[in-house]
Each structure stands twice: as structure tokens, then as C-alpha cells.
Structure 1
Amino acid sequence: MERIDSYKGFEVTVTLESVRAVSSEFTYGPPVGYVAVVSICTADPKRPIGVPIRLVTEGNRVFGTEDEGLTAGFKAAQRVIDDKVGP
């Protein structure tokens, strides 16, 4: 799952990486959560701002739903951009 949005002249891409449980039989189970990977680029010309940020929840746990991961990733990008260019 991927979400691309614009914010204050920057392009924010949030991609989710699913985390799967491994059973004792060495088979993969269903996703147990998601890690959000956030990339920020200038809009025109398109240039990356720093390196992608990998996010998990407090307590170093994965996000329980896709929506939680996408929302947290976009909010984190907003904070980075606001720190860079101001409110």
C-alpha cells in the first residue's frame, strides 16, 4: 500500500511494509502489522529531502492497521517539513 500527498510544496510518499508472523513450522502467517516508510521530495524539480524514514509506534511495535501506518507516516512528514520551512 502506498499513499502520495502534497504538503507545502513537497511530495510525501508513505509506503507500508507488512510484517508477518513466523510459525514453528517455518511458514509465514498473515500480516501482524505494518512499518511505515516515509519519503519526502521537492515537487518541482523532484529531488529527495534526506533519506526515507522508517516508522513504528511507541514501544517499537508495528502499526496494527494500514490506515494507522499511513496516517502516522503523513503526520511525521508534516512535522519534518514544518521544521524545515516553518509553519
Structure 2
Amino acid sequence: MEMLLQLLVAGAWMFTLINGLRRLVRLARVSHLQRWDNTVRVRSGLNRIWWWLGQEEFWRMARSDVAYALQISLLVFLFVWHMAN
């Protein structure tokens, strides 16, 4: 049971991380970098990602995802605490 609850919390945070990364790549409009030897194209994509990390539009959605993950973690904590008492 403990392992299942730990996986639930880890999964919620992993979903948050993956969702944030997908949103960041989508906002930066980084296409599939098919040719890694073209360093200018890769650098341009990384610069756009870096720029979006400083924008409020990205962080507004990221904060809601983190709040959701915190809510799941808190619910699991309260469930475990109730089961222990």
C-alpha cells in the first residue's frame, strides 16, 4: 500500500514536470530538431526556450499545475495520516 501511494505522488509530480516541459517546447515553437549538426538551429531553439522561461504566460500555467500536484500530495498525506491513527 505504501509503495502505491508513493507511486501516486511521484506520478503526480512527474506529470507536472512533463506537462510543463511540453508546454515550454510548444510555446517556444521548437520543431523537431532533425539535424543536430546544425548548431545555429539548436541554439536558436534553446534561446527561445530560455526566453519563455522568463515570461509570465508560461509560469501562470505552470503554477496551476504545481498547485494540482501539491493538492494530490496533500490528499495522499492526509489519507496516510488518517490510516495511521
Compare the two structures and name the one with the higher helix fraction.
Answer: 2
Larger radius of gyration: 2
Which structure carries more relative contact order (alpha carbon 8 Å, separation 6+)? 2
Structure with greater strand percent:
1
**TM-score, normalising length from structure 1?**
0.28
